Amino acid sequence: MAIFNKIIEIKTNTGINIHNITPQIQDLITSTPIKNGQTLIFSRHTTTALAINEYEERLLKDIQVYLRKLAPESDRYLHNDLHLRPNIPPDEPMNAHSHLMAITMSSSEVIPIVDGKLALGTYQSVLFFELDGPRNRTVFCQFSGEG
């Protein structure tokens, strides 16, 4: 069984934004000899998340509203008491709400690869959630299988 490790780089915008990374993942699969196997997709940040869902504009807006209700930025959070935390860099944001949103979601997804393609359903896409942008982010992708 062969294993290939790749990175997707994403430049995100301010606040909550959702990126469809399905095309990038499929392109990376195509760059390997793997035809059947699986891929592990892993977000390498504590204020981001991954999900498999429909990439539809109105649903994306609903998701953003839902996440803001779940952990409102205006609420009081201990993590945001930056003066009480040791070794904090000068540009540290008050982002407890972003961490709380991320912890309710997932940081990874495993998807089968069949005949060189992601075995996703008709309306499924791999979504990357930025919860504390703007930032430069990376998603780790590991492809394993046979040619």
Q: Residue 80's pLDDT is what?
A: 97
Kindly report whether the peptide bond that precedes residue 134 is cis, defined as omega within 30 degrees of 0: yes
Residues in the chain: 147
Q: How many CB atoms lie within 10 A of CB 77?
A: 15
Q: Tell me, yes or no, if the pTM score tops 0.75.
A: yes
Domain coordinates in residue numbering, the chain: 2-74+94-146
Cα–Cα dist 105/111, whole Å:
17
Q: Which amino acid is at 56?
A: E
CATH architecture for segment(s) 2-74+94-146:
Sandwich (2.60)
Alpha-carbon span 85 to 99, nearest angstrom:
16
Question: Nearest-CA neighbor of 143 among 53, 50, 44, 31?
Answer: 31
Query: What is the spatial distance between Cα 112 and Cα 143, in angstroms, rounded to a whole number?
Result: 10
Give residue 62's pLDDT band: very low, low, confident or very high (50, 70, 90): very high
pLDDT, tens digit, for every residue of 35-57?
999 999 999 999 999 999 999 99
